[in-house]
Amino acid sequence: MSEDDKQAENDYGKLMACLTSERDRYATESDFRDFAVESVRRFISDLRAIDIELTMRPKYLERPSSQYSAKE
C-alpha cells in the first residue's frame, strides 16, 4: 500500500471523524457500530428535510455495490 493510500484510509470526512471521536464511549466495537449505524440513519432522515436523498444498503444482502454507489 502506498503512502497516499495509507493517508486516504485515515483521512475521514467530517461526519466519519465525528462518529469515530465517540468510539471511546462504547465498551465494544459492536456497541460502537450500533451507535454509528443509528447515527447515519438519523443523518439520512435529516438530509431528506433539505431534499437530499440517501439510502443504506442492508449488510445482510451481501451483494456487491451497484454501479451507482458512491465511490472515491
Provide the residue ranges of all domains of the chain, joining segments of one domain with +: 9-57
What predicted TM-score, i.e. pTM, was given to this entire model? 0.60
Specify the length of the chain in residues.
Answer: 72
Instruction: In whole angstroms, give the CA distance from residue 24 to residue 2.
Output: 29
The pLDDT tens digits for 23-62 are 999 999 999 999 998 998 899 899 999 999 988 777 665 5
C-alpha cell at 35: 451507535
